Structure formats: structure tokens, C-alpha cells
């Protein structure tokens, strides 16, 4: 017989999507609250391009137990020629318990998705099975009704200059103040730049920058004591040094060391698809999909100012909008107010030399 999945809709669109993709039912009935109508339409749009199934949606009123029981019993009556599976991952705890009892009594299968451990659990029998489902960053974002305009998977040049990037991270206590100083000198040149060399005066750390104005290239010499290496940045060199490109690449390299399904650098969201009422950040430094979890990593390379708090608020909105886990990386030591504001928004802060040892 064809398979019907009854999905108790929760706050995470990924859970509704996963239940459908893992079982690939012939028909799906969503049990959802009125405010979840738009969210389910986004999930249906993604599913429709990947599997062939029929969709039906039945509204449930939060807190109305009698109505909820009636809805569940009605589905069993209306689909006599289907094998029925109920997904109780979403909804309230009471709704999940009621649905489990109703469908169990009717001899139907019950399923729960354990997001943290990537397992399908049968709460009636206790049986569980591990699954691995690969989802790209842009597919995950689409489940929330958003579109990603661009995002870099990996640039070979990032790997070529990784020794420079790691050196800057490992010696950020000396390098970051040096960048702040020469950035000001660079800006004071005005529109017409000139070839310049900057050298960090330090007894142990060797770090010098040779800037070629005509080509916007930078050559670097770096090392400890007399052991030095060289590297060249010939594309967007000033952005790499002065606008935090090195920090974003460092975090990107660290993230790439972990097991992941998809990672994107400089993921840009289409603003036209973002809700008008939410002042969210559309430029995500690094986005990662790992198992059933979506991560956002945002980098702050400039000293913390009032504008930093505005940017922090925007990225907190993006993290909330995408049901993500958020991390903030700061090249400068953040003061207490910035740390507290980050933690209030559920974001973890990684700063200074801790960045080069970051893992997830």
C-alpha cells in the first residue's frame, strides 16, 4: 500500500523536511498551527523539487485537546488504503504524546527524529537507527523561504597562503595592533595610493608588508626570529589585510578541519527574500551545514565600537531567523558589554589566539 506520513509540525522546518526525505511517502498530511502555514509552504516548495508526493494541511488549535484528538482520528478514517506513519518530532509535548497514543492504538507506526544524534527513534518500541543526510547550505536556507545569492566553497589561494593566515592568528597580539596602525596610515594617503613598505618592529616576531599601488598587490615576509617565509596576495590585498579577510580565511580554514556536509565563505543572502520586519544581516562570513545543525560564524576584525553592537544585533537576528548556532570571532579583545550582549543572543565568542585552535 502507499505510505502516508502524518507530520506534527514544530518550529524547525528542517525536521518536517527530514521526516519526508528520509521516508519519501506518497502523501503527507501536515498537522500545523495557523501561524505555520507560510513555513510549511517553504518546505513544500523544496520537497516538490526532490520527491513526488501529495500534500495536505490540517490546522490544529494550540491548547485545544479535543480538536487535536479529532484531527488525528479523522486522518486515520480518511486514509484507509494507506500505511500510516506519524512523525511526532514537532508540536508540543502533549500533542506528541496524544498523537503517539492515538496512532499506536490504531496499529500505526510512530517516528521521532533525534536531531542531536541524527537518529530515527520509534518511541513505542525504543528502536533507533542512525541516518546521515547531506544538505547544502543553500538548500537549508531555502527551507526558511530565503535564497542565497553567492557563497564560496573553497578558493585554492586560501590554501596557498594558509601559513601566512595561521601566523597572523598565532601572533595576533602583535599583528592586530600593527594592522590597526598601518590601516590608518593607508587611509590617510587618500584616493591616490603610493608604493609603501611597513615593518613590524619586534624582537622575535618578523612581519613586513610590501604594497604595490599599481597592481594592489601585497607581499608578506613573516616568521619567528630569523626563520622567515614569504607570501603574496595579488587579489583584493587591501581587503585581506585591512578589512578582515585574513580573519575570515583563518576561521574558514579551521572549520574545514571538522567533518561537515557543506561550508560556504562569504554567503550572501538575497535581501528581497528576507522578511521586511526583521533587520537581519544578509552577509554571512561563513555558513556551515553539519548533520542536522546549521552554523553561522561571523568575524569582527576591527576594534569593538558602537557600530559593532549594531552589527552584532543584525547577526543575532539572522541566527534566529535561520534557527542556527552562532559564533562570533573577534581579532581584538572584546569588552564585557559586548560579551554579555553576545551571550544574551545565544552566541559564543572566540577571540585572540583561541581562534587558531578552534574546532567544532
SS (H, E, C) 68-132: HHHHHHHHHHHCCCCEEEEECCCCCHHHHHHHHHHHHHCCCEEEEEECCCCEEECCCCCCEEECC
pLDDT at 5 over 90: yes
Q: What is the CA radius of gyration of the chain?
A: 25
Distance CA(306)–CA(12), nearest Å, equals 33
Please list, in sequence order, all residues whose beta carbon lies within 8 angstroms of the beta carbon of residue 68, skipping any fewer than 6 positions away: 31, 60, 61, 95, 98, 99
pLDDT tens, 79-135? 999 999 999 999 999 999 999 999 999 999 999 999 888 889 988 888 889 888 888
Distance CA(64)–CA(123), nearest Å, equals 24
Q: Please name the CATH architecture into which domain 3-133 falls.
A: 3-Layer(aba) Sandwich (3.40)
Say what the pLDDT of residue 245 is.
Answer: 96
The domain ranges of the chain are 3-133, 149-154+244-357, 160-242
Say what the pLDDT of residue 128 is.
Answer: 87
- Say if residues 349 and 334 touch (Cβ distance below 8 Å): yes
Helices 172-188 and 162-170 meet at what angle, rounded to 10? 110
- Say if residues 152 and 265 touch (Cβ distance below 8 Å): yes
Averaged pLDDT of the chain:
92
The DSSP H or E segment spanning 29 is: strand 27-32
Has this prediction a pTM greater than 0.85?
yes
**CATH of region 149-154+244-357:** 3.40.1350.10
Amino acid at each position: 500500500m502507499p505510505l502516508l506520513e502524518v507530520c506534527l509540525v514544530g518550529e524547525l522546518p528542517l525536521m518536517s523536511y527530514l521526516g519526508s526525505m528520509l521516508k519519501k511517502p506518497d502523501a503527507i498530511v501536515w498537522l500545523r498551527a495557523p501561524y505555520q502555514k507560510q513555513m510549511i509552504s517553504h518546505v513544500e516548495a523544496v520537497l516538490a523539487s526532490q520527491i513526488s508526493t501529495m500534500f495536505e494541511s490540517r490546522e490544529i488549535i494550540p491548547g485545544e485537546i479535543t480538536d487535536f484528538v479529532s484531527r488525528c482520528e479523522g486522518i486515520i478514517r480518511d486514509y484507509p488504503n494507506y500505511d500510516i506513519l506519524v512523525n511526532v518530532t514537532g508540536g508540543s509535548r502533549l500533542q506528541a504524546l496524544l498523537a503517539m497514543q492515538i496512532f499506536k492504538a490504531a496499529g500505526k507506526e510512530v517516528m521521532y527524529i533525534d536531531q542531536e544524534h541524527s537518529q530515527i527513534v520509534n518511541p513505542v518500541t525504543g528502536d533507533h537507527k542512525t541516518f546521515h543526510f547531506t544538505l547544502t547550505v543553500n538548500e537549508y536556507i531555502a527551507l526558511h523561504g530565503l535564497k542565497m545569492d553567492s557563497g564560496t566553497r573553497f578558493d585554492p589561494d586560501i590554501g596557498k597562503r594558509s601559513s601566512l593566515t595561521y601566523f597572523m592568528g598565532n601572533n595576533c597580539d602583535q599583528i592586530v595592533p600593527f594592522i590597526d596602525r598601518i590601516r590608518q596610515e593607508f587611509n590617510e594617503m587618500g584616493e591616490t595610493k603610493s608604493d609603501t613598505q611597513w615593518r613590524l618592529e619586534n624582537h622575535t616576531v618578523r612581519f613586513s608588508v610590501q604594497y604595490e599601488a599599481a597592481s594592489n598587490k601585497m607581499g608578506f615576509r613573516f616568521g619567528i626570529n630569523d626563520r622567515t617565509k614569504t607570501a603574496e596576495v595579488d587579489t583584493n590585498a587591501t581587503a585581506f589585510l585591512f578589512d578582515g579577510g585574513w580573519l575570515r580565511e583563518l576561521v574558514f580554514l579551521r572549520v574545514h578541519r571538522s567533518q561537515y556536509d557543506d561550508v560556504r565563505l562569504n554567503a550572501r543572502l538575497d535581501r528581497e527574500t528576507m522578511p521586511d520586519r526583521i533587520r537581519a544581516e544578509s552577509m554571512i562570513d561563513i555558513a556551515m551545514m553539519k548533520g542536522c545543525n546549521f552554523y553561522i560564524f561571523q568575524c569582527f576584525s576591527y576594534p569593538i565600537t558602537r557600530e559593532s553592537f549594531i552589527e552584532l544585533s543584525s547577526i543575532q537576528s539572522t541566527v534566529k531567523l535561520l534557527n542556527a548556532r552562532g559564533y562570533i570571532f573577534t581579532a581584538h579583545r572584546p569588552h564585557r558589554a559586548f560579551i554579555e550582549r553576545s551571550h544574551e543572543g545565544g552566541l559564543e565568542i572566540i577571540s585572540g589566539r583561541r581562534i587558531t585552535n578552534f574546532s567544532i
